Amino acid sequence: MKLLCTLLLGTFCLFVFSATAQAQEASPAFKAEALTATRQLAAFIALDDARQLPVRRLTQLRLTQEAEARQLYANDPDMLQKKLTAIGQDYTQQLGTVLTAAQYQRYEGLLPARCPMQ
């Protein structure tokens, strides 16, 4: 389970860090990253077909916001970290409105703060 959690977090971070500031929300690269991240998340939280599109849109929005924050706060690491934390919290809150209670509980179990391998 620790390895699985580490693998999921590492993969998600890879997608987040590979997002470029020039990529727009509608760009094919961002759509592909959001699709891949959503598919991986779907496997861990048993995401049904009806919720995949809204989760993918939220993931794409999060990637866009994080890329913009990295560009805006490239010279201010403290502010960047605060902004990324706020974006992550907002994403988690929005997922709570889309996912079922059981799916959201599984998602919370994958969050870095609860992962034993940080």
Sequence-separated (6 or more) residues with CB below 8 Å from residue 7 = none
pLDDT band of residue 56 (cuts 50, 70, 90) is very high
Residue 109 is predicted with a pLDDT of: 87
Examine residue 14 and state whether it is found in any structural domain, yes or no.
Answer: yes
In angstroms, the CA 105 to CA 24 distance is 31
Residue 25 is predicted with a pLDDT of: 45
Examine residue 116 and state whether it is found in any structural domain, yes or no.
Answer: no
What's CA 31's distance to the chain center, in Å? 13
Which residue range(s) make up the domain with 45?
Answer: 2-111
Examine residue 56 and state whether it is found in any structural domain, yes or no.
Answer: yes
**3 pLDDT more than 70:** no
Tally of domains in the chain: 1
3 state SS of 90: helix
Residue 7 is predicted with a pLDDT of: 40
pTM of the model: 0.70
Examine residue 118 and state whether it is found in any structural domain, yes or no.
Answer: no
